[in-house]
Amino acid sequence: ACPKCSGAVFDAGNAYVCEHSVGPAPTCDFRSGKIILQQPVEPTQMQKLLRDGRTDLLDGFVSARTKRKFKAFLVRQPDGKVGFEFAPRPAAAVKSAAAGKAPARKAGTRKAAG
């Protein structure tokens, strides 16, 4: 069902649209592309998004700005739009206690004894 008006959502070629967003007097504006940032959104994932508010983790998104691939969940936002939610990142490796406390000395900075 449509997250904005509870109408039926159907496949309209290259997008998923609300039944109330088409026709001579549309009363809803829900529409989601079948491909989001080069990641195809399968009908089962769109059903899961509309039913549960979130898809499975999808790993084929490509950033429009950096052109790098990334993984994310598609989520239904409170306003009915579709957004991203990112998986928690693994914790960074803990560095040794000595690392990072003092900057490394540059070569040739010692004064000559004399």
Query: 50-68, pLDDT tens digit by residue?
Result: 899 999 999 999 999 999 9
Mean pLDDT by 10 residues, the chain (114 residues): 87 90 86 92 92 92 92 90 86 60 62 61
- Nearest-10 Cα torsion for 75, 42, 72, 29: -40
Contact indicator for 79, 90 with CB cutoff of 8 Å:
no
Q: Where are the domains of the chain?
A: 9-85
